[in-house]
Chain A
Amino acid sequence: MQLSTFQDGFSAALLGPAVDAPWLSTLESQPGFAVYRNTVLKGCIDALQANYPTVCQLVGDDWFRAAAAVFARAQPPHDGLLVDYGAGFADFLAGFAPAAELPYLSAVARLDRCWTECHLAADATAVDRHWLAQQTPDTLPQASLRPHPAARWAWCDEHPAYVLWQSHREGRAPTEPLDWTGDGALLTRPHAEVVWHPLSRAGMAFLDACAEGHTLEAAATSALDADPTADFAALISTLLDAGALIPTDSRPG
């Protein structure tokens, strides 16, 4: 038998009932075949549980692992970099019928995914307040900055996904009754570890504009369009202190 034929049949049999072939039945009928089936599925589920810890805290291990098994069969990993596995899990949860009673779950999953991407992204030196102080009123509007490769930002319209996510990540229940409105998050890696901050709609629009390569003037206009009452100076301070921005000419280091 060709090696590729063996691998086609074996792969199919790992995921479910195999194609009907005597040589595969001979393998599947041995107790050892279940070891491979279990290990493959467990490997996917363990990786998802590691990458979506906040979702798991919200729903509990049993619910999480059952959902993860459904996801793993539908969207198995593409490669061995399981620390990065599960990019589609938030979208999956949004359409997963058993999650309908937890409509914020998908948005919380999106923040877990932001954490993973932030954690694994390239290093780069962020601009700080010193950079801002060096700019003149003439040069600043036409200058441009872009988001740090590790910066991730996400807005949820309907649920306080960030407050929920943050309180679980920090191991504490929300201290006050939740104000059930949408909110936004900024995740950055200013030093070694991932940190997070709340971020306004204006901040989202500003970072979106920077990511698209617009000047600071255009990005500021976008921010104020998103929220005319935004405190722009405070927003810039938040972004600079979080290490969210890098010069446009810098390369990931």
Chain B
Amino acid sequence: MNACTFTAGLSLKPQHYDEALGCSAPGLWWEVHPENYLADGGPRLAWLEAIRARHPVALHGVSLSLAADAPPDAAQLARLAALARRVEPAIVSEHLAWSAWRGQYQPDLLPFPRTQAALQRIADNIARTQDVLQRPIAIENPTHYLHIDGHDWPEAEFLAELVRRTGCALLLDVNNVYISANNLGFDAQAYLDAFPLHAVAEIHLAGHHADPVHGDALLIDSHDAPVAPAVWALYAQVIARTGPVPTLIERDDQLPAFSELLTEREQAHNALTSVQPEEAACS
């Protein structure tokens, strides 16, 4: 993968499919949840392949449940590998979270205590996934809503250790950092200072909103609004240090017109093409 051939991407939504197919913005790429394309056949795969014929595609999984105290589901992993062979994604990513547990899937990205045992389990799960996919994956920092007792590791160090043990890359979601810092009362800047930026293969930017009951004390990672100015500011600081890194504008709900998303995406594209990297991230 050459990180310089694509700049800012967008979440691919069926509502915008025709416009997405016709769009030729320079550096554009598309990200999808592979779960929506793990069909045996049919139009979904055909849509994705048509998009893939024109632009790079990234697969952003939400359900491998790598932080569950169990190996990822072998059948689902095999199907993901088959999809990856079919569309040859530029990046495959997943979350530092769990969602499937004892045969039941909870459609969310759930937290856990970052213990020594959890570290070993998740490293094993990432390694298994990478073995099946025969490529490194990128692991995303989660959004936090809860104070959990029993962490042995700060999150940034935990992620750095996963990189060291498995050779995985990281997906830095700047909006998640901003929300988590707000909700748990830590300093987003300090978190980013500790973050292993050398391993970041992709960045996510998204919108959030305040909880209807608790207000700004509890921000929700809703992906239903434009990226907040404070998140753009953190992002500028990150890419000033990393140089250009493929960046996704994530929008999953309250979809605006396609042109509006393109304008927001343009902002990230411009930031990426004008940044002066301190490190040669694209070499």
Contact = CB atoms under 8 A, between A and B. Distances in A.
B107 A252 contact: no
A6 interface: yes
A7 B98 CA distance: 9
A35 B106 CA distance: 13
B16 interface: no
A23 B183 contact: no
Contact of B106 (A14, A149, A192): A14
Interface residues of A, number: 45
B213 interface: yes
B108 A40 contact: yes
A76 B183 contact: no
Contacts of B183: 32
A78 B101 contact: no
Interface stretch (B61-69, B166-174, B240-248): B61-69
Nearest to A35: B145
Given A7-B112, A78-B105, A252-B41, A83 B69 contact: no
A76 B112 contact: no
B146 to A, nearest CB: 5
A205 to B, nearest CB: 27
Nearest to B36: A83
Nearest to B222: A39
- What 5 A-B pairs are tightest by C-beta distance, nearest first? A80-B63, A43-B107, A32-B145, A123-B41, A3-B69
Interface of B: 35-36, 38-44, 46, 61-65, 67-70, 73, 76, 98-108, 110, 112-113, 115, 117-118, 121, 144-150, 183, 211, 213-214, 217-218, 220
Interface of A: 1-4, 6-8, 10-11, 14, 23, 26-27, 30-33, 35-36, 39-40, 43-44, 47, 76-83, 119-124, 149-150, 189, 192-193, 252-253
